[in-house]
């Protein structure tokens, strides 16, 4: 890795309503810990990393710094002029941060989330998780468009739930086109366009809720319900279209298999999540899930046996195959190619198998 264009330092002086933001927990780890992971990965080996803090807060930050196997110096006062400063009232995207440092750009271009706004700290964990996992493909185009849509609507009276309903309407329109409009290029383009609009609006509703501070349990419930409804309706429409074109009843049976398999997968996932939370909250001496770790794990799994790492990799790849963002992009591509039947075939098998595998794993681990 080439050396950074500027010296990288951390400014741990920003404070929040309860004291220094550096020690505020996000995803189970202090903000400073997240920034140290990124800074250590970006600075050349052997170079001292400076963390600037207030003199009276050095005893509070020293234990966090000592957890890292790296030369880190706690210093008082502001960072030196010309340094690339990571602030503890910011969360950063690692890829954009690396590019900004190498090119000597303002690190604000790499900011994911600002913690100096009212309510931002409470929502930071959800935002960080969503940014890391939500859109492996959509982040390159759908998320930037959704951000602009949300920013434009922030000062208006448009409620995020309206965007949720708009996304559902676009998806249902795509399903109707698949089921009843034939397979011509016009129908294919209309389906792909409706799916793309649905993805942007489905992304923008959460972003708008965060900007307006209007997020609610009802809004999240509505989003989940319509996501699953539209998913099922789309695949039912695919099954119906294939049956209409071929007259083969097995397409309808495949649609039924998809619906039942997805239902089983959802029930197993929800119930399994409740099981893991119950075990994780068990008192000492009771079987539970210990040692769980969230967030970046740079250099912290050196002792993990190779077979376990391979098993974890396989599980990650299997889970990725069912990722909503990847499936959404697959729908768009297959709609243009007039091969949405492939999505139905693959996932009518995928979800039942994954549901059964997840249930079997729970029985083996906790039975």
Give the C-alpha separation, 277 to 103, whole Å: 44
Residue 295 in domain: no
Same domain, yes or no, for 70 and 28?
Answer: yes
CA 145 – CA 114 distance, rounded (Å): 20
Domain boundary among 109, 130, 151: 130
Establish if 355 belongs to a structural domain: yes
Residue 285 included in any domain = no
- Could you tell me if 81 and 155 lie in one domain? no
Q: Do 212 and 349 belong to one domain?
A: yes
User: The CATH number of the domain where 176 resides is what?
Assistant: 1.20.120.1760
Q: What are phi and psi of 232, to 5 degrees?
A: -65, -45
Cβ 133 vs Cβ 35: under 8 Å: no
pLDDT at residue 279 in the model: 60
Looking at residue 304, its pLDDT comes to 44
**Alpha-helical regions (H) of the chain:** 31-42, 58-66, 94-103, 120-133, 142-153, 160-180, 185-212, 217-246, 250-280, 306-321, 324-337, 340-366
Nearest to 50 by CA among 83, 82, 19, 28: 83
Domain assignment present for residue 284? The answer is no
Place of tokens 């069912």: 322
Whether residue 264 is found in the same domain as residue 121: no
Q: What is the pLDDT of residue 67?
A: 82
Q: Are residues 175 and 318 in the same domain?
A: yes
| Structural tokens at position 126 | 């959800």
Residue-number span of the structural domain to which 51 is assigned: 8-130
Give the CB-side neighbour count of residue 254, counting CA atoms within 13 A.
22
pLDDT at site 16: 85
The secondary structure element, H or E, covering residue 25 is strand 25-26
Task: Of 350, 357, 356, 354, give the one whose Cα is nearest residue 235.
Answer: 350
Query: How many structural domains are present in the chain?
Result: 2
Residues of the chain with pLDDT under 70: 1-6, 69, 127, 129-134, 272-309, 312, 367
Do 94 and 207 have their domain in common? no
How many CB atoms sit inside 10 A of residue 104's CB?
11
The domain boundary residue, chosen from 113, 130, 147: 130
Residue 143 and residue 116 share a domain: no
- Contact criterion met (CB below 8 Å) for 47 and 73: no
Residue 359: CB atoms within 10 Å: 16
User: Strand pairing partners for 30?
Assistant: 25
Residue 238 within a domain = yes
Three-state DSSP state, 186: helix
Mark which of 112, 130, 148 sits at the end of a domain.
130
Are the CB atoms for 40 and 68 separated by under 8 Å?
Answer: yes
């Amino acid at each position: 890795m080439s050396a950074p264009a500027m010296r990288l330092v951390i400014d741990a002086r920003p404070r929040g309503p309860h004291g220094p933001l550096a020690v505020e927990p996000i995803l189970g780890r202090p903000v400073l810990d997240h920034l140290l992971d990124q800074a250590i990965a970006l600075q050349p080996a052997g170079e001292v990393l400076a963390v600037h803090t207030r003199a009276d807060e050095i005893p509070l930050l020293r234990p966090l710094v000592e957890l890292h196997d790296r030369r880190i110096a706690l210093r008082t006062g502001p960072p030196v002029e010309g340094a690339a400063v990571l602030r503890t009232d910011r969360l950063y995207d690692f890829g954009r941060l690396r590019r900004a440092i190498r090119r000597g750009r303002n690190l604000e271009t790499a900011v994911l989330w600002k913690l100096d706004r009212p309510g931002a700290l409470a929502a930071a964990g959800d935002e960080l998780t969503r940014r890391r996992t939500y859109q492996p493909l959509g982040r390159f185009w759908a998320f930037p468009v959704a951000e602009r849509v949300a920013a434009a609507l922030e000062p208006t009276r448009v409620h995020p739930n309206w965007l949720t309903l708009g996304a559902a309407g676009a998806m249902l329109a795509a399903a109707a086109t698949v089921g009843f409009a034939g397979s011509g290029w016009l129908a294919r383009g209309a389906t792909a366009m409706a799916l793309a609009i649905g993805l942007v609006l489905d992304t923008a509703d959460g972003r708008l809720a965060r900007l307006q501070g209007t997020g609610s349990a009802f809004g999240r419930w509505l989003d989940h319900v319509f996501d699953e409804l539209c998913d099922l309706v789309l695949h039912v429409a695919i099954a119906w279209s294939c049956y209409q074109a071929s007259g083969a009843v097995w397409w309808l049976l495949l649609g039924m298999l998809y619906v039942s398999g997805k239902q089983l997968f959802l029930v197993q996932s929800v119930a399994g999540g409740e099981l893991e939370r119950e075990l994780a909250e068990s008192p000492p001496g009771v079987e539970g899930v210990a040692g769980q770790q969230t967030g970046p794990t740079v250099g912290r799994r050196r002792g993990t046996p190779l077979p376990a790492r391979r098993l974890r990799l396989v599980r990650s790849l299997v889970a990725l195959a069912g990722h909503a963002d990847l499936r959404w992009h697959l729908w768009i591509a297959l709609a243009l190619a007039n091969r949405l039947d492939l999505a139905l075939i693959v996932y009518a098998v995928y979800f039942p198998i994954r549901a059964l595998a997840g249930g079997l794993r729970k029985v083996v681990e906790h039975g």
